[in-house]
Amino acid sequence: MVIKIVFLVVFFAVMILIGVKTRNNAKSVDGFVLGGRSAGPWLTAFGFGTSYFSAVVFIGYAGQFGWKYGIASTWIGIGNAVIGSLLAWIVLGRRTRVMTKHLDSKTMPDFFGKRFDSTPLRIAAALISFVFLIPYTSSVYNGLSRLFNMAFNIDYKICIIIMAALTCIYVVLGGYMATVVNDFVQGIIMLFGITAVIVSVINSNGGFITALTTLSQQVSDNPASPGLQGAFVSFFGPDPLNLVGVVILTSLGTWGLPQMVGKFYAIKDEKSIKAGTVISTLFAIVVAGGCYFLGGFARLYKDANIYAEDGSVKYDSIIPTMLENLNTVLVGVVIVLVLSASMSTLSSLVLTSSSTFTLDLIALIGNKKDNDKKQLEKRNLFIMRLLLVFFIIVSVALSLNPPTFIAQLMGYSWGALAGSFLAPFLYGLYWKRTTKLSVWVSFIAGVGITVSNMFLHFIQSPINAGAVTMLLSLIIVPVVSLISPKPDKDKTESIFACYNETVTIEKRYSLPEDADESN
């Protein structure tokens, strides 16, 4: 217990120290929200990765999908690395940085408002962001509480309140720079921690071949392949179709999440984007691939702790059960690992939510009445910090009595956010013909399908519902754009002019084109 507590004290001290050291970067709205758009490739890449993977992945998703799909759940991690990281950086990175700088937009709702010349669109996007980031935040707290209950045997409500308070302190102090610097430290911990945990868990089951052999003897209870032996070590697992749904939601979903896309707003330059693409992808391969690979051995732990009274499996208890018998030092490492993953995600979520609500709702109204820029800056910073605290309190209140298990909370959140924003944002960066009406229809479809499915359950799994919503939005936006009136040509050309900047270079020397080869 002493070792675990020492690990925690050192971890918390470092986090708060970083918040204190970076507080000078948070004296303006731009500094607080984007760090002055000066984050280098390592900070941005680790910030992207650590915001992506949290206790939701390590405790909730790895356990649930490892139990359902076996070793094939590793495909989810591979999809996260290739689609959610590599392609996200290649497709969105540079264009997001260039256009948002050109439009002077600091948040995703701000982008929609300026790109499509619509204040109501900006307000709607801000409301969607604020409302649906809360269940995602709650799912992160929920995952943390499961681990702390296993390690310290204390009430998870106390854990949630402590985590929330500490996250609040360093984000309020240092804003974006405190978040990304902490993300970098936390990312390094995650890389080493997940590697150590995988090696230890496999060794505790007799080594890789023995663990795989034991897993191959498990008979599938999945309705898609009942009674199939060896399904949990097969290439695509016992239920490939639903596995694809999980890959789509957890990989493509990052393209439409405000807290993820916001990392591209703040990156420093072209060189940082290229380096960040490689770093972020490698990080995702190790962390996401490692988490889901570890979860693939879940069925080797059919302990009584993972079953509810009605005989159903408590998915959120699987990974903590796998970790219970590890040595004390490694458990301490795991605690810091999951804390690192979760606090980085929490800090990104609360910063995104508070800045969105302040800049896209409150400031939008107040700026019309007050022309003093210094006063506006101070007021907006104060409100942003105040709302940050409020957002944490609301998400904690929901976490203390969570309505369902982790994966469902995250599925609802990602489904609504990415289902609403992914297609309009992507097409808005690339296609001049994208119309305001198509964005409205995408917003309505994303929120409408998610909320109605929460009550009617016409798509049984919230994960699959989220995946369907995202794919549907990619069809809705171009179809509605083609049948609705074209946007103003001059305004659109002015916006897309940012991609055509001419760069002049000096040549020190060159050979003449008609040089005599014989000489």
CA distance 480 to 424: 11
Strand spans (E) along 158-273? none
CA distance 44 to 272: 8
Give the model's pLDDT for residue 509.
47
3-class state of residue 39 by DSSP:
strand
Q: What is the pLDDT of residues 453-491, one digit of tens each?
A: 888 888 887 878 888 999 999 999 999 999 999 999 999
The pLDDT profile of the chain, 519 residues, written as one tens digit per residue, is 676 677 777 777 877 887 777 777 667 777 777 666 666 778 888 888 877 877 667 777 888 899 999 999 999 999 999 999 999 999 999 999 899 989 988 888 889 999 999 989 988 998 898 888 877 777 676 666 666 666 566 666 777 777 778 878 877 777 777 777 877 887 888 888 888 888 888 998 899 999 999 999 988 888 878 878 888 898 888 989 889 988 988 899 889 988 888 888 878 777 788 888 999 999 999 989 999 999 999 888 877 677 877 778 888 778 878 877 777 777 777 777 777 667 767 777 777 777 777 777 665 655 555 556 677 777 777 887 887 788 778 777 766 765 555 556 667 888 899 999 999 999 999 999 999 999 999 999 999 999 898 888 888 878 788 889 999 999 999 999 999 999 999 999 999 998 886 545 444 544 444 545 444
Domain topology for 2-402: Sodium/glucose cotransporter (1.20.1730)
Give the model's pLDDT for residue 86.
95
3-state per-residue secondary structure call for 450-463? HHHHHHHCCCCCHH
Give the model's pLDDT for residue 518.
47
Q: How many helices (H) and strands (E) does the chain have?
A: 23, 0
Q: Which of 4, 139, 48, 86 is nearest to 413 (CA)?
A: 139
